Amino acid sequence: MRKLLINSTALATVAALTAGITTLTASVAVADVSISASTEFKYISRSSTITTTDGTSTKSDSEVKFAFTNKTDSGLTVGYTVEMFSDGGDSAIDESSLSIAGGFGKVVLGDNDGVGDNFGIAATDIIAEEENVSVVSSRMSTKTDIIMGNADSSKIAYFLPAMGGFTAGISHADSGNTSGTDTTSYGANYTMDAGGNTITIGGATTTTEAATTDTDSQNMGIKVVSGNLTVVVSQGTFEAVDEDRNAQGVAASYKLANGVILGAFTVNAEDDLDAGEEYSASGVEAQYVIATGLTAVVGVTDYEYKVGTNADSDMSSVGDSGTVTALAIKATF
């Protein structure tokens, strides 16, 4: 991703010429600013046993990121990051957070993801355009990621300084009142070299407190990189009121000599408290770099959802199966 580094002197000059922001001038005078962006357009064709989800569609997803960095005289690195997105006609500020880093580690304050995104390892992480197929049951897991606790809500996060190949962190979102629910996430991973192969073991757990039954989500995974081959095996769980879900995933990607990256994955999930409720999906994809910063991805995913014999009353009693074929054009700046 190419980044535009804006000269701090120029920024200070622009700030000085803008009335009413004298205090801002002093703060940006020693700051570097990085601007990056990404956008993609996707054409999707879905063959489904349910008429309302059968057919073709298009979607787009774009994001612009501004990252400000300032080095203090005491050796601290102070940063501010804001991300703006546009997705399906909606646009908003996605993330906005302050970070303070030093020998003690790093603290992130504001609207950002929980640490599960930093340390959890899911099989489909190495798949560029894994289709998260929506099924008739909104409660069913379709992948092995941490399910909750990672929304861009206001929270505080702390990351330990790296110790060899070990990293870890914790984040906490406070609901703000005694009747609300607080969410806490923990995560860690360890990377090591084994005979020229790079192995990373990681996991994360998130708990949202409740007056009666807490909601818990966990992820564990292992990633092995051997030359042009990458393999990931992962597991995810989710426990809540009348929910006990387990999902397992395996994925592999291989970079060919011509730069094409081939990928494949499979995911299987079930809910032990809803007898017979299952979801499975398998897919393949190919990534091709058209030019620097411009990539095409084509993928095919087969899926099947079974309702089971003990579905919840607010869930559809209709199963679903089919194939999703997608072509995505992605650009980074």
Contact 144, 236 (CB under 8 A): yes
Average pLDDT, the chain: 84
Q: CA 98, CA 79: separation in Å to the nearest integer?
A: 6
pLDDT of residue 6: 39
The pTM assigned to this predicted structure is: 0.81
pLDDT given at position 274? 78
User: In angstroms, what CA-CA distances link 317 with 54, 134, 139, 279, 322?
Assistant: 18, 15, 13, 14, 17
Half-sphere exposure of 150 (CA within 13 A, CB side): 17
**Which residues are paired to 90 by β-bridges?**
87
Hunting for tokens 């804001």 — which residue is that? 82
Q: How far is the C-alpha of 1 from the C-alpha of 308, rounded, in Å?
A: 45
Report residues of the chain scoring pLDDT below 50. 1-29
How confident is the model at residue 4, as a pLDDT?
42
Q: Please, which contacts does 313-316 make with residues 24 or more away whose CB atoms are closer than 8 Å?
A: 315/136, 315/137, 315/138, 315/139, 316/136, 316/137
Give me the pLDDT at residue 27, please: 43
Distance in angstroms (rounded) separating the CA atoms of residues 230 and 215: 32
Q: Domain residues for 49? A: 4-332
Say how far apart CA 187 and CA 160 lie, in whole Å.
11
Yes or no: say if 128 and 297 are a contact pair by the CB < 8 Å rule. Answer: yes
Are 38 and 86 within 8 A, CB to CB? no
CATH number at residue 36: 2.40.160.10
* pLDDT at position 252: 97
Number of compact structural domains in the chain: 1
Rounded-to-integer distance, Cα 164 and Cα 188, Å = 13
Token pair belonging to 42: 């996707």
